Chains A and B, each alone.
Chain A
Amino acid sequence: MKGSVIKYERDNIDTDVILPGPYLKIHDYAELATHAMEGLDKDFHKRVKPGDFIVAGRNFGCGSSREHAPIALSYSGIKAVLALSFARIFYRNAVDGAFLLPIEIDEGAYKDISDTDLLEVDISTNEIKNLTKNKIYKMKPFPELIGKIIEAGGLFNYKP
């Protein structure tokens, strides 16, 4: 996976800013995408390109259980969110629904990666290449079950 970075240098990016409450009634995935990140970055939908990555701090996706949040990001074109940590429901929604990859990175990588950097993510080697800065970072490997669900293409395709 190759894509460029949209970086939000902050912790606790919550589901109310990823996909604000008034849009919870919407279940058309393409329409939800037009409101992604609206509470934090009004220009997000103009800026995002298919294959992009979001890079953010601690506790990404905290707050409500709305699956609208990973759906809106996914249908905007986001393939993975690279963050210091994730809130639990956002994490399992992203994986079980096969919307995007929640990738945990360390402080070093988080500080080093800049907005618009071009990254190449390889989950088979747990490596993130920063093609802009010519550097390599390690991602935290997925736990066993999570890796299997991702490989299967979501919870419904996974056979326990």
Chain B
Amino acid sequence: MNITEKILARASGKTQVSPGDVVFVNVDKVMVHDVSGPGVLAVFEKLRKKGMVIDKVWDPERVWVAEDHFVPAADKISAQNIVLLTNFTKQFGIKRHFKYGMGQYGICHTLSHEEAMVLPGEVYVGGDSHTNTTGALGAFAAGLGHTDVAYVLLNGKIWFKVPETLFFKINGKLPDHVMAKDLILKIIGDIGTDGAAYKTMQFGGPGISEMSVESRLTLTNMTTEAGAKSGIVEPDLKLREYLAARGVTKYDEVHGDADAQYEKIYEYECSEMEPIVAKPFSPENTAVARDLSSVELDKAYIGSCTGAKLEDLQAVAKILKGRTVKIRTEILPAAMSIFRKAMDTGLLKIFMDAGVVVGPPTCGACCGAHMGVLAKDEICISTTNRNFPGRMGHVESQTYLASPLVAAASAVTGKITDPRDLK
């Protein structure tokens, strides 16, 4: 069995599972945020009206809560949703609630790794499609809707069809001007937005061993954009060091067997890669950044679970140091812990000297919710993960998805720019 099959077998109490088997698995961790949390509470209300008594969750220690989509509260309804969420965690004794304005908080997927909320070998589900991100920690991580998360909160288990696994063997080392974001955009461009539908995308090979945990998280984050159920990387020394730096050393790693089966194996050579951009209106609509150098921009957005980790901000700072931006540019670190490190290491000064607005962690404009959405016909380059019509604002606005390096270089010139072409 491969790593995903072994995790699902263990969690369902079986010695063997195969792709296509439907299993009920025991869940180790579950997450809701300020959109899916109130959604789950609406499901609870519906069940109560049918006579179900709901006064506890299966295990409050395994539940954690983030405030990310509509913080700072965008309006009265979102403010009310935060109150609902707070009452929920109080009532059900859920201690791990990362509250806006009270120390560490941020985008749920970022917290999952920054705070080591999920450990290797675990089954993790979240009320958000980008839950796949956390698979880079060697866990099975998949997104679910409100009804399914409500079911997990009450029963501690959920059904999954054991997925086929697509294995992406990554060779070589990414050149300095290329990031994991370019690699995953290239892969999505090749296989399409349903190229991995219902499947797991596993990343391995020497290129992954070379890659930091944060870079791997960018890959697994965007497996969602290829329709994947989950993305995963097997645990290694780099992951152990990453977790140890967060005070976690005890967990039960799972590794694939030597004869593990994969539905298909793809190979990518990193050293030959160049910066890639996804044009509107799909992450699969990819092109080489240099071929788009005539595209004029209104805005650059550096944020989200995909593109505002510490390493992403360091890449942006490398470009912006000593330069100023030509278009309006926003940088929103994905969690307060990253914001603090950016402050402590002087990145914030570089950003502000460049004329950029630095804002609080939020999903905000990434999903067109609030905090800097796009006007009609405006064109944005963004380190986020989706560019469907209306995703970041007006339905006739346009978003180009890019790496933090390309987004920063483009902010400087006002046009889509390969970082190598920056003077």
A binds B: yes
Residues of A within 8 A of B (CB): 12, 14, 16-17, 20-22, 24-27, 29, 39-40, 58-59, 62-68, 70, 85, 87-89, 92-93, 96-97, 143-145, 154-156, 160
| Distance, CA A21 to CA B370, complexed state (A) | 9
B81 within 8 A of A: yes
How far apart are B280's CB and chain A's nearest CB, in angstroms?
12
| Distance, CA A39 to CA B77, complexed state (A) | 21
In the complex, besides A20-B395, A63-B388, A89-B145, 9 extra interface pairs with C-beta distance below 8 angstroms are A17-B388, A17-B390, A17-B395, A25-B77, A25-B81, A29-B42, A39-B395, A85-B197, A97-B147
Interface set, chain B 52-94, CB cutoff 8 A to A: 52, 69-70, 74-75, 77-78, 81
| Distance, CA A29 to CA B26, complexed state (A) | 30
Q: B145, A93: Cβ atoms under 8 Å?
A: yes
Q: B386, A63: Cβ atoms under 8 Å?
A: yes
| Distance, CA A27 to CA B282, complexed state (A) | 28
Collect the chain B residues with CB atoms within 8 Å of residue A26's CB. 77
Residues of B within 8 A of A (CB): 22, 24, 35-36, 38-39, 41-43, 47, 52, 69-70, 74-75, 77-78, 81, 127-129, 131, 143-148, 150-151, 159, 161, 193-194, 197-198, 227, 229, 282, 367-370, 386, 388-391, 395
Given A16-B386, A58-B194, A97-B145: A25 touches B129 (CB 8 Å cut-off): no
Pick from A21, A62, A67, A144: contact of B145, CB below 8 A: A67
Q: A85, B194: Cβ atoms under 8 Å?
A: yes
Collect the chain A residues with CB atoms within 8 Å of residue B145's CB. 65-67, 70, 89, 92-93, 96-97
Collect the chain A residues with CB atoms within 8 Å of residue B39's CB. 27, 66-68
Q: A25, B197: Cβ atoms under 8 Å?
A: no
How far apart are B24's CB and chain A's nearest CB, in angstroms?
6
Collect the chain B residues with CB atoms within 8 Å of residue A67's CB. 39, 145-147
27 contacts between A and B (CB under 8 A): A16-B389, A17-B395, A24-B35, A24-B367, A25-B35, A25-B38, A29-B42, A39-B395, A40-B389, A62-B193, A64-B129, A64-B367, A65-B144, A66-B39, A66-B145, A67-B147, A87-B194, A88-B227, A89-B144, A93-B146, A93-B148, A96-B148, A97-B146, A154-B147, A155-B151, A156-B147, A160-B24
Collect the chain A residues with CB atoms within 8 Å of residue B391's CB. 16, 21
- Shortest Cβ distance from B42 into A: residue: A27
How far apart are A133's CB and chain B's nearest CB, in angstroms?
29
Point out which of A40, A92, A145 has the most chain B C-beta atoms below 10 A from its C-beta: A92
| Distance, CA A149 to CA B131, complexed state (A) | 24
Collect the chain A residues with CB atoms within 8 Å of residue B197's CB. 59, 85, 87-88
Collect the chain A residues with CB atoms within 8 Å of residue B390's CB. 16-17, 20-21, 39
| Distance, CA A34 to CA B223, complexed state (A) | 31
Q: A25, B227: Cβ atoms under 8 Å?
A: no
| Distance, CA A63 to CA B386, complexed state (A) | 8
Given A87-B194, A88-B198: A16 touches B22 (CB 8 Å cut-off): no
| Distance, CA A62 to CA B150, complexed state (A) | 21
Point out which of B38, B41, B42, B388 has the most chain A C-beta atoms below 10 A from its C-beta: B388
Point out which of A66, A85, A160 has the most chain B C-beta atoms below 10 A from its C-beta: A66
Collect the chain B residues with CB atoms within 8 Å of residue A27's CB. 38-39, 41-42, 81
Q: A145, B159: Cβ atoms under 8 Å?
A: yes
How far apart are B204's CB and chain A's nearest CB, in angstroms?
23
Q: A155, B35: Cβ atoms under 8 Å?
A: no
Closest 9 CB pairs of A and B: A93-B145, A67-B145, A97-B147, A21-B367, A65-B129, A21-B368, A59-B194, A67-B146, A16-B388
- Shortest Cβ distance from B37 into A: residue: A27
Pick from B74, B143, B282, B388: contact of A25, CB below 8 A: B74
